[in-house]
Amino acid sequence: MDTDSNAPSGPLLEVKDLRTHFFTRWGTGKAVDGVSFTLNERESLGLLGESGCGKSMTSLSILRLVPGPAGRIVSGQVLFQGRDLLRISEQEMRRVRGRGIAMILQDPLSTLNPVFSIGGQVAEPLRVHRVVPRSGIRERVSKLLSLVRIPAPESRLNDYPHQFSGGMRQRVVGATAISAGPKVLIADEPTTSLDVTIQAQYLRLLKELQQESNLSIIYITHDLGTLARICDRVAVMYAGKIVEQLTVEALFERPAHPYTEALLQSIPRMDRKVHRFPSIEGSPPLVYDLPPGCAFAPRCPRAMAICRSEAPPETRLDPGHSVACWLHAKDEHET
Ligand SMILES: Nc1ncnc2c1ncn2[C@@H]1O[C@H](COP(=O)(O)OP(=O)(O)O)[C@@H](O)[C@H]1O
Ligand SMILES: [Mg+2]
């Protein structure tokens, strides 16, 4: 594999102790509560967890798009190519969005505007970031559309979204996201609204784009099946915190956190005669009313007394595998 000699050493993106809270009349919601992870060049990292655990708020914080005024990034660092995005001006941040880090939103089909042509929408980031001269935009848009496998793209530039199928619109959203040549693509549950065949095609496309455009991907999902096809590593989130980080291989072979184990047990398996979907007891705690200690303790089948009173320390099990759980805490943390 070739390496870019100009690339800064260290990870492409490094999130350090990020905290994003919602200040409402019901109290403070710790949507993101001390999240840290790194993303290397050309790597794809999965953010896995049930609905409401803070996946979207983590990615919106990276892009400084947290819905205000209730939502606020209260502390932490987001180092992109060594620069802290939480400390730069809004003007500089606009250059980072799309050009440096692009995002496919949770409901991508609604991101296309019905009253603008497909070609116009894919061209928008090219215009905003002046990636190519005005005269070259049409050609670049056609290239992008053929990259996402839209047949005869030249002839479809003036079409409107309603003339495209759901799967094709999804691919157009993908083309728009990468049109300004970002280094990082954040895909927030991009396949949730798609049927299974189109899901598989879309995942293949993401992989191809990653190879052709040297993208690093943050892939957000609650679905282990799609995650396994895209990601190299996984960060498992629960109630605003990353509770375990490991490779996809380790995820299936040696998950350490009881929450990760529970997620694995809830996937339907072809080799079981009876398809059952055992779900985890209880539901995720509202980030407004977190218990003391480990947030998963009330639902955890292996909870001990300490789990209900003290937050578990992060323990490194292997290089690249860490877990925040009292079951795995090393001696120095034991009381
Ligand atoms: N607009 C909002 N106002 C108040 N609280 C919010 C808002 N959006 C999200 N939250 C809180 O942040 C938590 C995390 O949300 P989110 O990141 O969207 O979860 P996920 O993407 O993992 O489903 C939610 O559980 C919710 O309590
Ligand atoms: Mg979400």
282 sits in the region (left: phi over 0; alpha: psi -120 to 50; else beta) called left
CA of 222 to the centre of ligand 1 (A): 15
Please report the atom of ligand 1 found closest to the CA of residue 189: 21
The answer, yes or no, to whether residue 311 has pLDDT greater than 70, is yes
> Residue with the nearest Cα to atom 20 of ligand 1?
52
CA distance 86 to 93: 9
CA of 316 to the centre of ligand 2 (A): 28
Which domains occur in the chain, in start order?
13-100+180-333 (3.40.50.300)
What are the structure tokens assigned to 80, written together?
């992109």
Between residues 205 and 332, which one has the greater pLDDT?
205
> Residue with the nearest Cα to atom 18 of ligand 1?
56
Residue 296's pLDDT is 95
79-95 pLDDT, tens per residue?
A: 999 999 999 999 999 99
Between residues 213 and 329, which one has the greater pLDDT?
329
- For the ranges 17-21, 49-53, 80-84, 250-254, the lowest mean pLDDT is seen at 49-53
81-134 pLDDT, tens per residue?
A: 999 999 999 999 999 998 999 998 766 667 788 899 999 999 988 888 888 899
Residue 142's pLDDT is 93
What percentage of the chain has pLDDT greater than the value 90? 61
Among 287, 288, 289, 290, the mutation site with the greatest number of ligand 1 atoms within 8 A of its Cβ is: 287
pLDDT band at 2 (very low <50, low <70, confident <90, very high): very low
The answer, yes or no, to whether residue 44 has pLDDT greater than 60, is yes
User: Does ligand 1 lie within 6 Å of residue 24's CB atom?
Assistant: yes
Continuous H helices in 214-271: 224-230, 248-253, 258-265
Residue 279's pLDDT is 58
CA of 22 to the centre of ligand 1 (A): 8
Ligand nearest to the CA of 47: 1
57 phi, psi to nearest 5 deg? -65, -30
Q: Which of 23, 27, 93 minimizes the C-alpha distance to 60? A: 93
SS (H, E, C) 271-321: CCCCCCCCCCCCCCCCCCCCCCCCCCHHHCCCCCHHHHCCCCCEEEEECCE
CA of 268 to the centre of ligand 1 (A): 27
